[in-house]
Amino acid sequence: MLGHESVEVERPVRIGLVITGDELRSKPYAPAFAAVGEPASVVDGREPTPLIHNSNLPMLSAAVSAAGAVPIERSCGDDPAQLLDILGELSERVDLIITTGGISAGAYEVVRQGLEGGRSTFHHLALRPGGPQGHGRFDGVPLLHFPGTPAGAFLSFHLFAVSLLAARPLRERWRKAVFAGPELSGITKGVTLIPGGYTAGGGVVRTPRSRLRDYSGADVIIRIPRSTAEVCPGDIVDVLEC
């Protein structure tokens, strides 16, 4: 075309996703039957580990793909050495690494144990959900550390990762909309983020609940500022399309 035999193109951004936690599994837990004479809670001579379905990995992988990037998925237990091995492997292949879980204030938080003090910094934002946050670098690759709760991880991606990918500050991505109800109250401890949808008239309404499926099906994220006052139909609110 136009006399050129080849053209230079930019490859999609590659994002490593590291979901942490011994308790997470990619499939629902279906334990075998206990042996005769053993308590029902004992399987193969040991107490079964409580397991949680890993919803963060498919959710974030889909969000990364929707943003035009390529996800590279990894799962990690609660061993800091394993985490560092995974980060070392990914750092040679990706442009950004996102971790979920292991960043709260507990004594055995795998991401904090492996990275705090040398590679990453952690904070607790006045934000609900999604208060625990972190950022850093590993062998020159940027790191974003999100909370392990599915709603918190979803919101963190749309707030912070998308801002980074779009090279736009978060404050420039909010826009104004008319709140169409039902009325709700803010909290004094911080900003509240809730899922919402558009009305036929272009206003926004909140969803009845604020679970992962509600956020994933939302048109917008509604920002309720730190306040004791109620937000009523007709008020102007900040929204972020998702």
**Domain extent listing, the chain:** 14-170, 174-241
How many other C-beta atoms lie within 10 A of the C-beta of residue 30? 6
The dihedral through the CA atoms of 182, 150, 12, 164 has a sign that is positive
The CATH number, out of the four listed (3.40.50.740, 3.30.479.30, 3.40.980.10, 3.40.50.2300), of the domain defined by the range 14-170: 3.40.980.10
- Give, in order, the Cα–Cα distances in Å from 128 to each of 124, 210, 213, 226: 10, 11, 17, 10
Q: What pLDDT shows up at residue 30?
A: 41
Check residues 62 and 48 and name the one with the higher pLDDT. Answer: 62
pLDDT confidence bin for 3, thresholds 50/70/90: confident
Rounded average pLDDT over 3-32: 76
pLDDT digits (tens, 9 = 90+) for 43-60: 445 455 567 788 899 999
- pLDDT-derived band at 193 (thresholds 50, 70, 90) equals very high
Q: With 90 as the cut, is the pLDDT of residue 93 above it?
A: yes
pLDDT for 229: 78
- How far apart CA 13 and CA 67 sit, in angstroms, is 10
Separation CA 124–CA 190 (nearest Å):
11
User: 174-241: what fold?
Assistant: Beta-clip (2.40.340)
In 92-211, alpha helices (H)? 110-115, 150-156, 162-166, 170-173
Q: How many residues does the chain have?
A: 242
pTM of the model: 0.85
Contact 72, 17 (CB under 8 A): yes
Tell me what percent of the residues of the chain surpass a pLDDT of 90.
Answer: 66
β-pairing, 191-198 with 230-231?
unpaired
pLDDT at 5 over 90: no
> For residue 240, what are the β-bridge partners?
221
Neighbours of 93 (CB within 10 A): 11
Taking only the tens place, the pLDDT of each residue in 130-178 is 999 999 999 999 999 999 999 999 999 999 999 999 999 999 999 999 9
